[in-house]
Amino acid sequence: MAKEVAFITGAAQGIGEAVARRLAKDGFAVAVADLNLEKAQEVATSIEADDGTAIAVQVDVSKKEEVEKAVNEAAEKLGDFNVIVNNAGLAPTTPIGSVTPEMFEKVYGVNVAGTIWGIQAATAKFRELGHGGKIISATSQAGVVGNPNLLLYSSTKFAIRGLTQVAARDLASEGITANAYAPGIVKTPMMMDIAHQVGKNAGKSDEWGMSTFSKDIALGRLSEPEDVAAGISFLAGHDSDYMTGQTLIIDGGMQFQ
């Protein structure tokens, strides 16, 4: 039987890489989509060596035509298209006075526009193939409640929850679901950089920077990327078929809804 196909952006490292590996283990053929094709290829090759099915696809998610091209390439090479995980994102530390027009364009271009282009491209492909599908997008616990010093990042993640709800309403009749996942403090290269910047801004250490985020986790430990991938596995699989428009919070108990 042909495998269902999952397309994951920002999949060359961090949460995206963990998601690609988990969904491959779940039986999906995966498209490892990333700006860094070399690293994406390393992940795809590793998945293949582990008896999975994977290809690497280069994409700059802020460019609509590149997202469309990447989705088409994945569907053509893997034979179907069933799940998109809009995972790619930027998270600079942005105290209110530090935001510039250039920074705004860059962060919103990747986090918000990139998610919109992913939703558009996936919806067009589901329609072309004549079946429903799943749209899964990355918000954050910082998109559930505003986080200090993250004006740009936090606001983009609130936006993603909103556009996920709109997509869920608009696409439900076509058998397309749209959900989001909200990770907490995950041990990824991106999070380590945020902790470094917060510590540096306060004249303190990286560890101090990380502790400003991690002190409120009920389960008392930072998240591994695999913790988040497990939640996305549920959203990508058929056990979540009756769920749409929701944000699945996977943060170890930082935010309660």
Pairing mode of beta strands 29-34, 133-138: unpaired
- Distance between CA atoms of residues 229 and 227, nearest Å: 6
Sequence-distant (6+) residues with CB within 8 A of 156 are 89, 107, 108, 111, 112, 143
Amino acid at 237: G
CA atoms within 13 Å, Cβ hemisphere of 45: 6
Set 64, 69, 134, 153: catalytic member:
153
Asked if 87 contacts 16 with a C-beta cutoff of 8 angstroms, the reply is: yes
Is 157 catalytic? The answer is yes
Distant-in-sequence contacts of 161-164, Cβ < 8 A, 24+ apart = 161/247, 163/112, 163/115, 163/116, 163/119, 163/137, 164/135, 164/137, 164/139, 164/245, 164/247
- Distance between CA atoms of residues 59 and 122, nearest Å: 14
- Distance between CA atoms of residues 136 and 171, nearest Å: 13
Strand partners, 250: 183
Asked if 115 contacts 163 with a C-beta cutoff of 8 angstroms, the reply is: yes
Set 69, 125, 134, 157: catalytic member:
157
Residues labelled as active-site residues: 153, 157
